[in-house]
Amino acid sequence: MLAKELYPFMQVYALIIGLAVGSFLNVIIYRLPNNKSIVKPRSKCTKCDSQIAWYDNVPVLSYIALLGKCRKCKNPISIRYPLIEFICGMMTLMLLNIYGPSFEFIVMILISYMLIAITFIDVDYFIIPNEFIIFGFIISIISHSFKLLPITVVQGFFGSLTYGGMLFIMGAMGTFIFKKEALGFGDIKLGLVLGSFLGIELSLLALFFSFIFGGIMSIILLIAKEVGDDHMIPFGPSIAAATLLTILTKTIGGGNHIINWYFTTMWNGEYFF
């Protein structure tokens, strides 16, 4: 085990790495759906096209220093950039504290970054790019090949069937009821990939939350009249948020706080009237 004295340094590193990844995710979210190169041209202002100097590209801090405005053209910079950086930084720090310095931590943080990027792309474009599905699939193959997860490959396989299969069934039912495509095929593919990391039990938990989040989001969007004429509401963000919540509520040994709470408190009848 690593010396306890090293933990504060690791946490600072985790935060910095998370912020930097968030900065990179901003580039992916902006460029991937538009088929632009992710590595090539340096970051530019989306309004005036001027190159952004490195000191104006420091995650979160530059946004605060610039008061949210481009140095050249003074147009506002979207709050989304520092927000995504902040979310990635905090996610990395929290997952390090939950999973400890382990391979499982690395797997879970990679999946989390993927889910954060998917959320914002799905909100903007109503698509889950195949690149993410392939990325998740490769991470899944590596994780199970080297046994980096607390579940077996068989549990992963059934988790995959559970998550993807349930989404497929719900989507088919939705299509039947509403007479139009209710869930995209991208959502089902994402479910197949995510289930392989979670196993059956956690997949069911994530599914449960994804439907709650999806319902809440639909109601908010309908009230705010943010739903377009096609009545499309992206389900990817709900799947992502539900899976992140499931990942964040893990207990040592592969269990889950919410499932434990359910079986110890709810099941004992304490909350039944």
| Interaction site with Zn ion (CB under 5 A) | 45, 47-48, 70, 72-73
The whole-angstrom separation of Cα 163 and Cα 195 is 5
CB of 45 to Zn ion, least distance (A): 3
Q: Which is nearer to Zn ion, 75 or 130 (CB)?
A: 75
Which candidate, 145, 89, 146, places its Cα nearest to that of 113? 89
CB of 64 to Zn ion, least distance (A): 17
CB of 39 to Zn ion, least distance (A): 22
**CB 201, CB 259: distance < 8 Å:** yes
Any bridge partners for residue 103, and if so which? Answer: none
Q: Which is nearer to Zn ion, 69 or 231 (CB)?
A: 69
Question: Exposure of 155 by Cβ count < 10 A (0-12 exposed, 13-18 middle, 19+ buried)?
Answer: buried
CB of 76 to Zn ion, least distance (A): 10
CB of 36 to Zn ion, least distance (A): 18
The whole-angstrom separation of Cα 113 and Cα 127 is 17
What amino acid occupies position 198?
L
Q: Which is nearer to Zn ion, 36 or 47 (CB)?
A: 47
Beta strands in 65-177 (DSSP E): none
Which candidate, 192, 198, 189, places its Cα nearest to that of 245? 198
Q: Which is nearer to Zn ion, 48 or 79 (CB)?
A: 48
CB of 72 to Zn ion, least distance (A): 5
Q: Which is nearer to Zn ion, 1 or 67 (CB)?
A: 67
**CB 89, CB 59: distance < 8 Å:** yes
Q: Which is nearer to Zn ion, 46 or 264 (CB)?
A: 46
CB of 56 to Zn ion, least distance (A): 10
Q: In this structure, is the dihedral angle defined by the CA atoms of residues 112, 117, 123 and 127, taken in order, positive or negative?
A: negative
Q: Which is nearer to Zn ion, 11 or 71 (CB)?
A: 71
Tokens of 142: 């590596």
Integer angstrom CA distances of residue 107 from 122, 127, 136, 140:
22, 24, 10, 8
